[in-house]
Homo-oligomer: A and B are copies of this chain.
Amino acid sequence: MAKSGFAKEALMSFIDRIVKLETEKQALADDIKEVYSEAKGTGFDTKVMRRIISLLQLDKGDLQEADAIESLYRTAVGLPTP
């Protein structure tokens, strides 16, 4: 049992698995960064791209609602709506 007997092997196994997964995860993060960099070099606005990607994650209703609230608040503070 882990708590008292002290399963050193088990702990090391868990930790190894996590370290490995995190390594792969970091590699993907680097890939993503690279794609953004490439897109930027092609002339795209990466800031807007990031926003678009986050909007894509929303389901349709949520997106509409978010847009609606933003329109409302924009009007309230005197900003033009797109």
| A contacts with B: majority SS | helix
Cα distance A5–B76 in the bound complex, in angstroms: 11
List A50-82 residues whose CB lies under 8 Å from chain B. Answer: 51-53, 55-57, 63-64, 66-82
Cα distance A21–B34 in the bound complex, in angstroms: 11
Copies in the complex: 4
The answer to whether A43 and B2 touch across the interface, beta carbons within 8 angstroms, is yes
Q: Which residues of B contact A12 (CB under 8 A)?
A: 76-77
Q: Which residues of B contact A4 (CB under 8 A)?
A: 78
The answer to whether B14 and A38 touch across the interface, beta carbons within 8 angstroms, is yes
State the A residues within 8 Å of B (CB): 1-8, 10-12, 14-15, 17-19, 21-22, 24-25, 28-29, 31-32, 35-36, 38-39, 42-45, 47-49, 51-53, 55-57, 63-64, 66-82
